[in-house]
Structure 1
Amino acid sequence: MNITTQLDVNLIALDTDDEVTVMLDLEAPPLAADLVRPAASLQVVLDRSGSMSGAPLEGAKDALIALVRRLAPTDNFGLVTFDNEAQVVVPAGPLTDKESVIAKIRQVASGGSTDLGAGLLRGLREIKRVATAGGTLLVVSDGHINAGIRDAGELSGVAARAYGDGIVISTLGYGEHYDETLLAALAKAGAGNHVFASNPDDAGAEISREVTGLLTKALQAMTLTVELEPSVKMVRLYNDLPAAALPGGRIMIEIGDLYADEKRRLLLKLKVPGKSTLGPAKVATLALEYIELPALIEHVAKLPIAVNVVPGSEAAERLSNPIVVSETLFQEAQECKKLASEAFENDHVSPARDHLARAKSHLVSALSTAPASSSDDIRREIATVEQMIHMADRQSTRYMSKLSRSSYHEMNRKRGRSEEPNVEDAGTH
């Protein structure tokens, strides 16, 4: 596990209040060549309400059949479907008879209304029955909830408690009619991924990606605890991750699981009160805790964060770290993207376009500051935002809201991860 920290500035002036931005880069270890992969546990909760009838449901079924074929016989798989109630189609357990499981998937037909809560709760019961070392639950839905539990906060609470039991919850929104705010909140609370698929091919690709991450998981249940020195305050966590206050003024941030070779980047800003003594001054300690797979070894890495207190004349000539400054602007752009998604969701096209324009402006500034090693990444993001701006008048607000929300999730909550885990034959032992 590689861990590095960088500050935007490491000098602060004597007796002067200041702010310091901390960037934390994480890189999970690669898969060992002789690794015997432990059994994985995947529970799918599939919307089969009437709106899924036809191509959406058939495409989802094809994607599930493909993932069953990728999993090993010793992996646990279960399928719960829901419309106005939940049905256990495939009881969670080892895939000792794949053809029987595939036949059951093929028989799934569309039904009535959308009670996602019933499907989620039933799916969690199934995966907890078989997952001894954690697992992943994937919710696939194309509609707004119109039955059962409808409150996003209540469903997020269910997801957070499941994550406490080692179950990661990811969500895939299908088409233009699902509730992106709710599915994104569910994924955030469950420390998983939220993605948008506009057609069956996209849905299949995203389901495949989720399974590949599951099969190459290297680190589990990662948390970052920020312990601040007296009077220091954390004024912002740029990444939209679950965070909770702990006794003693500590803050615990849930990072979730990392697959092999995955890179993640976190950014937080600290307010540092004026220091009356020259020299090094610790402002915080970062404690990173995680479980290494497959041996289930618990690790704790502590990283002190310190600045150097200097006379005001010396601090006035300090230079900012271009990588951290660039990343800060990059994340400011993501916040604009999220605001654009919310505006699109409320059919406010002009404000949404303005938010996207501001996102592009932040990214252009980031590019002017960034070192060469980061430039290509920022150029790709500029192209993505430009495409969204051009699409704003041609696509529906529903589509644009979901596209921008999914993109925000990828570049903010899962910042740094590659498009696809680097693995071959991940489904075999």
Structure 2
Amino acid sequence: MKINALLDVNLVAHETADEVAVLLELEAPAAPTTKRAPASLQVVLDRSGSMGGAPLEGAKQALVALVRRLEPTDNFGLVTFDDTAQVVVPAGPLTAKEAVVAQICAVHAGGTTDLSAGYLRGLREIRRAATTGGTVLVVSDGHVNAGVSAPDAFATITAKAYADGVVTSTLGYGRGYDETLLAAIARAGSGNHVFAADPDAAGAAIAGEVDGLLDKVVQALALTVRFAPAVRFLRLFNDLPAQQIGAGEVMIELGDLFAEEGRKVLLKLGVPAMAKLGLAKVATLELAYVELPGLVEHVASLPITVNVVPGDEAAGRVAHPTVSSEVLFQEAQDMKRQASEAFERGDLDAGQRLLGETTSRLRRALDVSPEAVKPEIRAELDDVNCMDQMTRDVGAAHMSKVSRDSYHQMNRKRGRTPVRPDDEQDR
């Protein structure tokens, strides 16, 4: 694992309280040359009445393609749900692929939507079949109208599953699903949340989830921040599960990483006034993870220090452009999240105004960023401009989902390596 930490400023004025932003950059190891360990994937598929026709047929085709890509040693299971849950393919090794394909093809649309029944049944299946954890992928197109429906209650369930080694990802299908609920499920489950407008997009999203699963090299990555006395944890910019685990200690869940995947985590710390000149440690970042396929546990520590200098010397400091641009980039993502929430309420005007705020911060980020960072900020600017232009054409419901999907990728999974060209050619 490659680990790098940058501070926006590493000089702080003598006897003056200050704030310091810390950008943690991670890169997962390359894929091992040895045969990969068996993967475990449990699909929980909505087959409620609204999925009838093209949506369900598209999802079934994507699942058939998924099964054909997996090895016979991989664990796969399929649970469907409407008002009740049904085990279509019991979780286990794919030793009879054609039989599994036939079972998938026989799925048909049913009644109402009790997602919790399907998810809880899927959890039981993957726990039964997988000894080292796995991934549950929830595919749904509707608002839950039976069972557990409160985002916080559902997030508690998925967080507990993640603590047991099970990652939960969600795929919102079409324009009718509850993006707040599905995003909360994925966040607490340390997985991905993806929006698919049509069967083709759903197929690509499911294929992408499998790419990550089969290329996974790091599992259960957690960042613990230990603060020096009087240092305060002001903000975690990334929308990641975090909890205080002791006095001056916060643990942040980063989930799993695939081969050579990059991640960025941005923090802000409040540094107290310090009387002693020279280097001072303000925090220690500790990364704990399991490396696959050997299930080797690693712990890496990185001290974060500042240089306490006289006030006149600190007055001439220049902020690190990479960190400064990342702060603005993440402030833009917060505006985008607020835009998504406005669109979800049906408020097009507020949503567009907030997208304008997103653009403004991205332009400021572009102004201060180093040349190496500018291309990704320009690409994000292009994406936000496209969202703004399409808003009046597609409506609030669609824009809420598009912007929430984008927020997930640019904030929660910030820095995630895009699909590589050779992967594109393989598909």
Amino acid at match of 2:376: D
1:51 equivalenced with 2:50 (yes/no): yes
Residue 252 of structure 1 deviates from its aligned partner by: 0.3
Q: Secondary structure at the match of 2:318?
A: coil
Find the counterpart in structure 2 of residue 184 from structure 1: 183
Find the counterpart in structure 1 of residue 123 from structure 2: 124
Q: Secondary structure at the match of 1:119?
A: helix
Residue 160 of structure 1 deviates from its aligned partner by: 0.4
Equivalent residue runs for 1:176-255 within 5 Å: 176-255=175-254
Q: Structure 2: which 5+ runs fail to align?
A: none
Contact 2:343 2:400 in 1 (8 A): yes
Find the counterpart in structure 2 of residue 405 from structure 1: 404
CA RMSD of aligned residues (A): 1.3
1:18 equivalenced with 2:3 (yes/no): no
Contact 2:228 2:248 in 1 (8 A): no
Distance change in 2, residues 1:163/1:101 (3 Å): same
Q: 1:225-268: CA deviations, max 9, x gaps?
A: 00001111111000000001111220000000000010000000
User: 1:425, 1:171 → 2: CA distance?
Assistant: 22
Residue 422 of structure 1 deviates from its aligned partner by: 7.0
Contact 2:149 2:181 in 1 (8 A): no
Residue 217 of structure 1 deviates from its aligned partner by: 0.2
1:324 equivalenced with 2:329 (yes/no): no
Residue 423 of structure 1 deviates from its aligned partner by: 6.5
Find the counterpart in structure 1 of residue 291 from structure 2: 292
Q: Secondary structure at the match of 2:255?
A: strand
User: 1:163, 1:111 → 2: CA distance?
Assistant: 30
Contact 1:212 1:421 in 2 (8 A): no
Q: 1:108-143: CA deviations, max 9, x gaps?
A: 000000000000000000000011111000000000
Find the counterpart in structure 2 of residue 6 from structure 1: 6
User: 1:150, 1:220 → 2: CA distance?
Assistant: 29
Find the counterpart in structure 1 of residue 382 from structure 2: 383
1:157 equivalenced with 2:173 (yes/no): no
User: 1:418, 1:219 → 2: CA distance?
Assistant: 14
Residue 426 of structure 1 deviates from its aligned partner by: 13
Question: What percentage of aligned pairs have identical amino acids?
Answer: 59
Q: 1:3-31: CA deviations, max 9, x gaps?
A: 00000000000111100000000000111
Contact 1:243 1:251 in 2 (8 A): yes
Find the counterpart in structure 1 of residue 346 from structure 2: 347
Residue 424 of structure 1 deviates from its aligned partner by: 5.8
User: 1:350, 1:397 → 2: CA distance?
Assistant: 10
TM-score (norm 2): 0.98
Q: 1:207-227: CA deviations, max 9, x gaps?
A: 000001000000000000000
User: 1:29, 1:423 → 2: CA distance?
Assistant: 18
Contact 2:193 2:408 in 1 (8 A): yes
Q: Secondary structure at the match of 2:58?
A: helix
How many residues are aligned here?
426
Q: Secondary structure at the match of 2:385?
A: helix
Contact 1:212 1:426 in 2 (8 A): no
Distance change in 2, residues 1:424/1:340 (3 Å): closer
Distance change in 2, residues 1:317/1:14 (3 Å): same
Q: Secondary structure at the match of 1:372?
A: coil
Distance change in 2, residues 1:421/1:114 (3 Å): farther
Contact 2:339 2:351 in 1 (8 A): yes
Q: Secondary structure at the match of 1:394?
A: helix
Q: Secondary structure at the match of 1:393?
A: helix
Q: 1:141-166: CA deviations, max 9, x gaps?
A: 00000011111111111100000110
Contact 1:259 1:421 in 2 (8 A): no
Contact 2:225 2:283 in 1 (8 A): yes
Q: Secondary structure at the match of 2:393?
A: coil
User: 1:403, 1:284 → 2: CA distance?
Assistant: 37
Amino acid at match of 1:8: D
Residue 402 of structure 1 deviates from its aligned partner by: 0.4
Distance change in 2, residues 1:321/1:380 (3 Å): same
Amino acid at match of 1:247: G
TM-score (norm 1): 0.98
User: 1:289, 1:265 → 2: CA distance?
Assistant: 16
User: 1:348, 1:321 → 2: CA distance?
Assistant: 38
